[in-house]
């Protein structure tokens, strides 16, 4: 059985999603099309983290830090949700193309912009074969 290597977008982990959301928030924060009042959300979140007033005091080890982490994640999520969705989608497609520069299984679609313009001789296409236990040679003889 021969299969083609690909990097499906469904196989992303939690850390990859966090990094993608941080990159998306940074790009949106720097985009001039995003209204200024929405750009006040990330600094307001940081002010809350730095302020001595806290929902759960940082003196309670673990819970205090978890509170701060959840406020940061909620602030980033809220900022992304309030930004214009067409701008969010545009930046998200660019980030996804940078994070997944592989070809798809059918070989026709690519997710990286640099591969779209590359001639077929410059694209690496790899095939591999899956060998089951029954196909292994007997080395005991």
Q: Is residue 82 part of a domain?
A: yes
Q: Count up the domains in the chain and report the number.
A: 1
Q: Is residue 108 part of a domain?
A: yes
Predicted local distance difference test score (pLDDT) of residue 70: 87
Cβ-contact 86, 93 below 8 angstroms: no
Predicted confidence band of residue 18 (pLDDT cuts 50, 70, 90): confident
23-74 confidence digits (pLDDT tens): 999 999 999 999 999 999 999 999 988 887 777 777 767 777 888 888 899 9
Instruction: Indicate whether 129 belongs to any domain.
Output: yes
6, part of any domain: no
Residue 92 falls inside a structural domain: yes
In a domain, 7, yes or no: no
Q: Is residue 2 part of a domain?
A: no
> Which domain range does residue 96 map to?
13-135
């Amino acid at each position: 059985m021969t299969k083609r290597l690909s990097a499906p977008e469904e196989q992303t982990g939690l850390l990859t999603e966090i990094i993608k959301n941080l990159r998306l928030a940074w790009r949106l924060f720097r985009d001039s099309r995003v209204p200024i009042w929405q750009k006040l959300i990330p600094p307001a979140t940081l002010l809350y983290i730095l302020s001595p007033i806290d929902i759960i005091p940082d003196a309670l080890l673990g819970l205090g830090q978890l509170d701060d982490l959840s406020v940061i994640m909620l602030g980033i999520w809220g900022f992304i949700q309030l930004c214009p969705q067409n701008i969010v989608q545009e930046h998200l497609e660019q980030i996804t193309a940078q994070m997944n520069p592989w070809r798809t299984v059918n070989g026709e679609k690519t997710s990286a912009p640099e591969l779209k313009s590359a001639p077929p001789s410059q694209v690496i296409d790899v095939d591999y074969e899956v060998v089951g236990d029954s196909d292994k040679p007997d080395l005991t003889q």
